[in-house]
Structure 1
Amino acid sequence: MKKIILIEDDEPIRDAFALALSMENYEIQMYATGQAILQKEVTAPDLFVLDRNISGTNGIELCRFIKGDDTYKEVPVLIMSAYPEVKEAAAEVGAAGAIIKPFLLKTLRETISQYL
């Protein structure tokens, strides 16, 4: 079973994420902040999905941390945002890709499966 860690502070988006992937064979761990990653309280998943705008360390800075850390650096990262230049910002910090908000659940599923 593939493991995904989602960092998203918006509960309705976490719910949509869980709904979109409920029929897939994924283990999903969801957090409102990136503290568990920064403190290395989680084992490396198969994929990180990070919201760009989260409280504390934002998704871009969190991706930079992940890509610089020996424990997590090989794990692909997707950045989610409504920010128009999210793809460019994600690429600059080593993310594998981006998910543009708002998104269709089908698009989310397809994007996730592309990286797993």
Structure 2
Amino acid sequence: MGTKKILIADDDEGIVDAVTMILEVMGYEVAYTYDGGAVIDAVKDRPDLILLDIWMSGHDGRDICRQLKGDPQYQEIPILMISASRDIRQSALDAGANDFMEKPFEMDSLLDKVDFLLN
């Protein structure tokens, strides 16, 4: 099986840069978008996992998550939702996210969740 592809959708360039660097060092292929409106198009490249921020550039990641999980073509792709607000964990899971992380997070915790969701 080839390299696992991860899509990062977050409007925080610092987080995208740091997470991209770590994931690439770990051997993953990484794509990203800073625009919530571009997530659905980016998913057409069939990532193996999506890291999705809840609030980005006027889009609610929970709506994006519901849309992807409601589409038979994409519903099997695991989604790890990320937010600076821990009080929306349950709403992220209710939207269909496979897991949730609160910002800021430890890279080791992120890698553990990525590994778990991909295997």
TM-score (norm 1): 0.90
1:1-116 mapped onto 2 (5 Å cutoff): 1-39=3-41, 42-116=44-118
1:44, CA displacement in angstroms? 1.9
Letter in 1 for 2:77: V
Going from structure 1 to structure 2, the CA distance change for 1:2 and 1:107 (only over 3 Å counts) comes to: same
**Identical pairs, percent:** 35
Does the residue aligned with 2:32 lie in a helix, a strand or coil?
strand
Alignment size in residue pairs: 116
Going from structure 1 to structure 2, the CA distance change for 1:43 and 1:103 (only over 3 Å counts) comes to: same
Does the residue aligned with 1:85 lie in a helix, a strand or coil?
helix
Q: Given that residues 24 and 30 in structure 2 are in contact (C-alpha distance below 8 angstroms), is that contact kept between their aligned partners in structure 1?
A: no
The worse-fitting range, judged by mean Cα deviation, of 14-23 and 62-71 is 14-23
Q: How far apart are the structure 2 equivalents of 1:55 and 1:63?
A: 15
More helix as a share of residues: 2
Q: Given that residues 49 and 77 in structure 2 are in contact (C-alpha distance below 8 angstroms), is that contact kept between their aligned partners in structure 1?
A: yes
Stretches of structure 1 that go unaligned for 5 or more consecutive residues are: none
TM-score (norm 2): 0.88
